[in-house]
Structure 1
Amino acid sequence: MTDTRRPAGLLPDLGLAVVFVLGLAFTAVMLADSWGPRYAVLDATVGATACLLALLRRRARVRTAAAGLGVAAVAVAVAHLTGLPQEPGPVTALALAVLVGSVIRTRPVRTAAAVGGAGLLVIVGSLLASLDDRHGFSAVPVLATLCWLAAVAVGVALRLADAHGRATTERVRRDERLALARELHDVVAHHVTGIVVQAQAAQLVGAKRPEKLPEMLAGIELSGTDALTAMRRVVGLLRDADDAAPASPGPEQLTELVARFDRHGPPVRLRLPADGHGWPPASDLAWPPEVTTTVHRIVQEALTNVSRHAPHAASVTVTVDRNPEGVSVEVVDDAPPAPARVAHRGGYGLVGMRERVRTLGGTLTAGPRDGRGWSVRATLPLPGRTAR
């Protein structure tokens, strides 16, 4: 399953392109009626250039903004020296606002300030040229000034919103890493305790029944291998010294989780591996606790998203299975399409789940299904074991 959402920014740019085309056509007609057809050439050329740069801004935001401001500055000078209508025109001002706002939103503070200052210089040049224009002062420079102010205000607001979003995402990832570190810490402690107990037993039994010693040493080796596997997964994760008490590595029964959701939401069908009815299945008791815990957390988060963002879903299917890649878990609902909720369905909860799955070496994908509904699917490897 892949994420089938449209590329970010595609629809806004299509809408912006429509606005640019309509604006250029309207401005050309108005200038042709009031000044004559030849006077509309400069405004149309400058406007089309600035609009094209605005639509291409994602490829090189600073360069396109610099190019657009340079074209506008030249247009201001040419219009003033040749007696043409004042520049930048309304559509050009809108395109420059998009370029300036885009840089202010995404680039470092110094770069954003430089581009915003360059835009202000163009506006000041237009205002000074209008004061000395033999045709008299017009509203064009005022409109350009308002566009520049809007670009700065919107760019700063979106910059702050993006910073808040990044901080929230990082906090979610950190919390998830800490939770996973606690669980893995408990798993390793369990294995080490087992090693100590088996070593003590080997000392006692080895003296009386030496033939049992190889078997007991093999058990110690297996426990050590499991402990090392879990410890490798902890590498890179930080745990605060004064953090909360360790969480239990054993997951809550999925059947209980589904039953609790079933009482307040749409019917849920739970599909577990075919070789057992419990969780984990009897033949798969060797699944690492961090894997079964992660499966539970993914199902919990996905069902929570269904209850919050898909109240019209008629049914939900939770599938947990064993395959050659490891353990797979998928939660699918059949809610009708709701474009306004797509962003919420992929919120910060899934950020934490994706971080947890990635740390365990797995993959997680989430997105709308073909036709209707939403799907969350994760695959978790089982290190050191081969699929049956």
Structure 2
Amino acid sequence: MRVPDRFRVAADAGLGAVFAVAVAFQAYQVAGSWGAEHWPFGAAVAVWVCALALVRRRDPLWTAVAGLAVAALAVLVTRFVHLPAEPSPAASLGLAVLVGSAVRTLPVRTACAVAVAGLAVVAGGFLAGPGSAVPVLSGLFWLAALVAGAGLRLLAVRRRTVAERIRRAERLELARELHDVVAHHVTSIVLQAQAAQLVTAKHPEKAAGSLAGIETAGSEALAATRHVVGLLRDAAPAAEGHERLGELIEGFESHGRRAHLRLDAEPAGWPPQVSSTVYRIVREALTNVSRHAPHARAVTIGITQHERTVTVEVEDDAPRVPARRYRRTGYGLIGHGLTGLNGYGRAGYGLIGMRERLEALGGTLTAGPRPGSGWSVRATIPTGGRR
């Protein structure tokens, strides 16, 4: 048996013991003040209501309805027969459990209806037994049940909201990881395949080398995908950081383009999330150049550290070209082929992912054409301290 089940059984056993004591004490008090012939009715009503409270988890709605119906009937009986006021203290305790459980678990409208019905039973007790302190106690029990049920309901809603926010953040993280890995490495494979087609057509004897390059790129993509799976499985994965920028630039230059890194910072003092974000921004920017700026020949990567921020700027030298046709998406205008800037000036998933990462850290991202020609991506990342 699972721990929650054991806890529920123990809680219900304790609640049953409380009910038994309440019914017995009530019967003793009524027998002493009203006479021995007056306690059985109130005890029977209390036993029925308390028994329904103990099985409330099977059906919170109908157990609450049945309990309220028994209590309402008891109120009507005491209105015309000389008996102690109803609902009695023990029955009110059982009703409080039923009403509180309904308010906590049922849909809003149904829960409100049960709460109002409970208040009506309490009001009926006041009318049936004016001047008695028992209806006052019933009202206090009803109020306590309402407060406790509503409080637990709000707490559950808050937990669900937090859980959903966490799940949404995890889904976004997964989407970013998949985009970062798949887009970068698949782009490399596509470029290698395009180069292989040209080489095979002009120099068939060099086809083996091109195919070997495709195989290497595919192996790297497979290893990177496995790394993403490891990130999802491990509780504390090793983040990709600034120390791998050299590998990233070498991979970019292997396709015949130049990349120059200008580092004016102290990466050793960066927090892990800053180091990882710098790497991913550079990777996404280089991937965009490879995919959407075919005429760019050189890229400059500048990383500068200030008192409380790190600035990453990636610029290419692609010339402006005429725009082709566009389609509108939820992220803005996306061109089929080249855009009116340099071919990758679009708000795709990569830029959205980068912006979300930076906003989560309190940073900013800007991307746009440079004066004259080329494209620039500029990111500012807070480091949380001084140099």
TM-score interval, normalised by the smaller of the two chains? 0.5 to 0.7
Q: Distance in 2 between matches of 1:108 and 1:6?
A: 23
Unaligned runs of 5+ in 1: 132-136, 228-284, 301-388
Residue pairs, 1:3-22, within 5 angstroms = 4-7=2-5, 9-22=8-21
Structure 1 residue 149 and structure 2 residue 143: aligned? yes
Equivalent residue for 1:293, pick from 200, 207, 231: 231
TM-score for the superposition, normalised by structure 2: 0.55
RMSD of Structure 2 on Structure 1 (CA): 3.0
Q: Is the 8 A contact 1:199 1:220 kept in 2?
A: no
The DSSP-based 3-state class of the residue aligned with 2:14 is helix
Residue 203 of structure 1 and its aligned partner are, at CA, apart by: 2.0
Give yes or no for contact 1:65–1:100 (8 Å, CA) kept in 2.
yes
Q: Who is 1:216 aligned against?
A: 211
Q: What residue is the counterpart of 1:55 in the other structure?
A: 54
Q: In the superposition, relative to structure 1, how do residues 196 and 95 fare at CA in structure 2: closer, same or farther (>3 Å)? A: same
1:101, 1:154 within 8 Å by CA — same for their partners in 2? yes
Deviation at residue 201 of structure 1 after TM alignment: 3.6
> Deviation above 6 Å: which 4+ runs of structure 1?
none
Matches of 1:129 and 1:200, distance apart in 2: 91
Kindly indicate whether the alpha-carbon contact (under 8 Å) linking 2:196 and 2:210 is maintained by their aligned counterparts in 1.
Answer: no
Shift of 1:217: 9.3
Work out whether 1:26 is the aligned partner of 2:47: no
CA-CA distance at 1:64 after TM superposition:
0.7
- Asked if residue 167 in structure 1 is aligned to residue 161 in structure 2, the reply is yes
Distance 1:15 1:166 in 2: 29
1:144 and 1:84 map into 2 onto residues whose CA distance is 17
Q: Which of the two has higher C-alpha Rg?
A: 2
Contact 1:69 1:118 in 2 (8 A): yes
Give yes or no for the alignment of 1:185 onto 2:179: yes
> Aligned pair count?
236
The C-alpha deviation readout for 1:4-29, integer Å capped at 9, x for no partner, is 53326333222211111111111122
- Give the direction of change, closer, same or farther, for the CA distance of 1:62–1:217 in structure 2 (3 Å limit): farther
Q: Counterpart of 2:159 in 1: which secondary structure?
A: helix
Contact kept? 2:122, 2:139, Cα under 8 Å: yes
Q: Per-residue CA shift, 1:161-196, capped at 9, x if unaligned?
A: 111111111111111111111111111112312212
The letter of the residue matching 1:113 is C
CA apart distance, 1:220? 6.6
Provide closer, same or farther for how the CA distance between residues 298 and 96 of structure 1 changes in structure 2, counting only shifts above 3 A: farther
- Is the Cα contact below 8 Å between 1:198 and 1:220 reproduced in 2? no
In structure 2, the residue matched to 1:69 is 68
Structure 2 CA distance for partners of 1:199 and 1:11, relative to 1, 3 Å:
same
Is contact 1:72-1:87 (8 Å) kept?
yes
Q: Report the alpha carbon displacement of residue 75 of structure 1 after superposing the two structures with TM.
A: 0.7
SS at match of 1:144: helix
Matches within 5 A, 1:239-318: 288-297=226-235
State the Cα distance separating 1:54 from its structure 2 match.
Answer: 0.8
Q: Distance in 2 between matches of 1:112 and 1:192?
A: 54
Shift of 1:71: 0.1
Amino acid at match of 1:74: L
Q: Answer whether contact 1:205 1:213 (CA < 8 A) is retained.
A: no
Provide the C-alpha distance between the structure 2 equivalents of 1:48 and 1:185, rounded to a whole number of angstroms. 63
Q: Deviations over 1:334-370 (max 9, x none)?
A: xxxxxxxxxxxxxxxxxxxxxxxxxxxxxxxxxxxxx
Q: In 1, Cα distance between the equivalents of 2:185 and 2:59?
A: 53
Q: Distance in 1 between matches of 2:82 and 2:236?
A: 67
Deviations 1:137-162 (A, max 9, x none): 32111100111111111122222211
The superposition leaves residues 307-327 of structure 1 with CA deviations (integer Å, 9 ceiling, x where unpaired) of xxxxxxxxxxxxxxxxxxxxx
Give the distance between the partners of 2:217 and 2:48, measured in 1 at CA. 69
Contact kept in structure 1, 2:75 and 2:128, CA below 8 Å: yes
Higher relative contact order (CA 8 A, sep 6+): 1
Paired with 2:9 and 2:236, the residues of 1 have a C-alpha distance of 30
Partner residue of 1:83? 82
Change (3 A) 1:295 1:93: same
Query: What is the aligned-residue identity percentage?
Result: 47
Q: Following the alignment from structure 1 to structure 2, what is the Cα–Cα distance between the partners of residues 19 and 193?
A: 69
In structure 2, distance between residues paired with 1:123 and 1:192? 70
Residue number among 194, 201, 207 corresponding to 1:200 in the alignment: 194
1:298: Cα distance to partner? Answer: 5.3
CA–CA distance in 2 between the matches of 1:26 and 1:76?
20
Deviations 1:258-306 (A, max 9, x none): xxxxxxxxxxxxxxxxxxxxxxxxxxx5761211212333579xxxxxx
Instruction: Look up the match of 1:377.
Output: none
CA separation of 1:179 and 1:89: change in aligned 2, threshold 3 A: same
Shift of 1:111: 1.0
Select between 166-175 and 212-221 the one with higher mean Cα deviation: 212-221
Distance of aligned partners of 1:19 and 1:290 in 2 relative to their CA distance in 1, 3 Å threshold: same
Question: Secondary structure at 1:155's aligned position in 2?
Answer: helix
Shift of 1:36: 2.8
- After TM superposition, give the deviation of residue 216 of structure 1 in Å: 2.7
